[in-house]
Amino acid sequence: MPDSEDSIAVNNRTRSGLLPLGKLKRWQWWILVAVNISFLIIGQIVAVLLGRFYYDQGGNSKWMATLVQTIGFPILFVPYILFPSPKESSTTTTTSFSLPVILSMYIVLGAVIAGDNMLYSVGLLYLSASTYSLICATQLAFNAMFSYYINSQKFTALIFNSVVVLSLSASLLAVNDDSDKPSGVTNAKYALGFVATLCASALYALLLSVMQLSFQKVIKKETFSVVIELSIYTSFFATCVSTIGLFASGEWKTLGGEMDGFGKGSVSYVMTLVGTAVAWQVCSVGVVGLVFVVSSLFSNVISTLSLALTPLAAVVVFHDKMNGVKIIAMLMGLWGFCTYIYQNYLDDIDAKKEQTDGTGAVLSEACTPLLVE
């Protein structure tokens, strides 16, 4: 194919008004993917470790830990301003829903995100960073189930294997000897942290499926600007809900004492919260970037991979114990991840076969360029 081997001639999605990815050279596209993967993995690992550090050094406000997960959303205006989507053509399908409907959707999603972040905060309070991350990796299994029922995604033998393996991985952690419990955490609180993290993972997977459905049925377009707008508006309303929760619960009254009694000092307290907020938004940029450049499925898979890698970082930073059960759980999580992404690879191969003519020329723009050689 003339010139097509020097550029990514697929997935430019010009019909949706996205940036012309098809004009990127192959090496440029790979650099873009690598940068977004780095943002997601590094941002998520740093955010989880700083969240655990906050609790270890005397922080105890669950609402503050929830608030910092979204309060850094103004950072998202940077890619929103730097990479605006081109103006849509007159033939572009626009949403048939009114502004109040869209606004209501953002408010509801924001409130649910705030609740989900609270569950994550409770889980991280009562679990070690490594155990917390391994349980969070089950979101991939939940995502497969919700996608099947909500987004009509097929449920193959490999996907079923991934669901079973990730579920067994979480079950192993549930019967662990609790030897790595944070100081002062009782068995009852450990169980609460386990259940809260598991529920948070399920709710997060549900949110991904609902957001995908929202793009299809309500927004009816998926430009880079719209994806960023969804992140900004939902984070804004999630921040509002978390702020209300912080003041309604009375936890705001304890923040001064937390700062004064923080193990590493008041400056470290502020820097920990700021660093956590920034890390979550760096992660968010990576998530949105991969959704835009590759796909939402690939973004979720990389997110799950980073959760499987976090225990290794926790061993180095916090000296978390990696007993036999946790090692097996981590290996099972990685195996579940591999089977899940292999199914995605097979799906892309089938899609490429359907989208080529007899001479091998690509007929569709929708093929994922990740697999183009």
Q: In this model, does residue 41 exceed pLDDT 70?
A: yes
Q: In this model, does residue 320 exceed pLDDT 70?
A: yes
Residue type (1 letter), 31 = I
- Least confident segment among 23-32, 108-117, 237-246: 23-32
Q: In this model, does residue 39 exceed pLDDT 60?
A: yes
pLDDT score, position 120: 94
pLDDT score, position 345: 75
Determine the average pLDDT of the residues in 334-359: 73
The per-residue pLDDT for range 230-282, each reduced to its tens digit, is 889 999 999 999 999 999 999 999 999 999 999 999 999 999 999 999 999 99
Of 123, 76, 63, 122, give the one whose Cα is nearest residue 278: 76
The per-residue pLDDT for range 141-182, each reduced to its tens digit, is 887 788 888 877 777 888 788 778 877 877 777 666 555 678
Helix (H, G, I), strand (E, B) or coil at 66: helix
- Cα 266 to Cα 270: distance, rounded to the nearest angstrom: 6
Confidence of residue 96 (pLDDT cuts 50, 70, 90): low
The residue with greater pLDDT, 371 or 186, is 186
pLDDT score, position 338: 84
Residue type (1 letter), 121 = S
Determine the average pLDDT of the residues in 205-219: 80
* Residue entry with tokens 């349980």: 135
pLDDT score, position 362: 44
Q: What angle do CA 119, 120, 122 make, to 5 degrees?
A: 65
- Give the global pTM: 0.79
What's the chain's Rg over C-alpha atoms? 21
What are the structural domain ranges in the chain?
4-83+95-340
Name the most confidently modeled range: 98-102, 103-107, 301-305.
103-107
Mean pLDDT of the chain: 78
The per-residue pLDDT for range 195-204, each reduced to its tens digit, is 999 999 999 8
pLDDT score, position 273: 95
- Cα 29 to Cα 193: distance, rounded to the nearest angstrom: 40
φ, ψ of residue 362 in degrees (nearest 5): -75, 130
Polymer length of the chain: 373
Name the token pair of 60: 């105890």
